[in-house]
Amino acid sequence: MEHADLELPEKDTKDWTWTVHHRCPECGVAVGDLTVRQVADITDIAARQWVELLERGDAAHLRARPRPRVWSPTEFAAHVRDLGRVFLTRLDLMLAEDTPTFQDWDQDAAALDGDYAHLDPRHVAPAVAVSLGAFAARLREVPLGMEARRGFRSNGSEFTILTLAQYFLHDIVHHLHDVGRPLTV
């Protein structure tokens, strides 16, 4: 695949785990008081907003980067689609194993390998719906009392099922903010 026509966004090296305890000053979202089922419900709302953006917007505009090194709405949506898949895998691992360590996921490599910049937003839309819908559905299946099960990123960051869900929700909602479509509940 040829990617020479694109400048990669700057690698995000921030540790965003603080967002499960504090309101994000950039997007305004506070996830720390939400339950697993509330996260599932809001994930469904966010999924609908992503799909609406991708299905109703002009395809050329949705693929256009607002600035060099900043993802287009379609690239952000493809990232959100993949987040749903990655976090579903992590959630399943936490439900199946005691204190698992998650495999690394390089979102920049995923963007290149998945050719996010050249995707058709109309094809990304249903994949976002499926991915986020599957994660929300699995959250609703988490047995009561299991929300405290733990898992770890390879860098040692600890999550419970609850904080994993909250972290995920902040990420997908923050990206709605990034594309100028803040979550409306």
Q: What's the pLDDT score for residue 184?
A: 82
Asked if residue 22 belongs to a domain, the reply is no
CB-based contact 181:128 (threshold 8 Å): no
The tally of CA atoms less than 13 A away on the side-chain side of residue 6 is 22
Helix (H, G, I), strand (E, B) or coil at 90: helix
Q: How would you label 129-167 residue by residue, b for 16+ Cβ within 10 Å and e otherwise?
A: bebbbebbebbeebeeeebebebebeeeeebbbbbbbbb
Q: What's the pLDDT score for residue 15?
A: 77
Report the number of distinct structural domains present in the chain: 1
Asked if residue 68 belongs to a domain, the reply is yes
CATH code of residue 50: 1.20.120.450
Asked if residue 14 belongs to a domain, the reply is no
Q: What's the pLDDT score for residue 9?
A: 73
d(CA 176, CA 170): 10
How far does the chain reach from its first CA to its final CA, in angstroms? Answer: 39
Asked if residue 170 belongs to a domain, the reply is yes
Asked if residue 163 belongs to a domain, the reply is yes
User: Considering only CA atoms, which of 110, 179, 157, 162 is closest in space to residue 16?
Assistant: 157
* pLDDT tens for the 185 residues of the chain, in order: 344 456 667 776 677 899 999 999 999 999 999 999 999 999 999 999 999 999 998 999 999 999 988 999 999 999 999 999 999 999 999 999 999 999 999 999 999 999 999 999 999 999 999 999 999 999 999 999 999 999 999 999 999 999 999 999 999 999 999 999 999 87
CB-based contact 139:91 (threshold 8 Å): yes
H-only helix segments in 22-120: 36-56, 59-63, 73-96, 107-113
Asked if residue 19 belongs to a domain, the reply is no
Q: What's the pLDDT score for residue 16?
A: 82
Helix (H, G, I), strand (E, B) or coil at 181: coil
Asked if residue 20 belongs to a domain, the reply is no
Question: What is the span of the domain harbouring residue 165?
Answer: 30-178
Q: What's the pLDDT score for residue 6?
A: 66
State pTM to two decimals: 0.93
d(CA 96, CA 93): 5
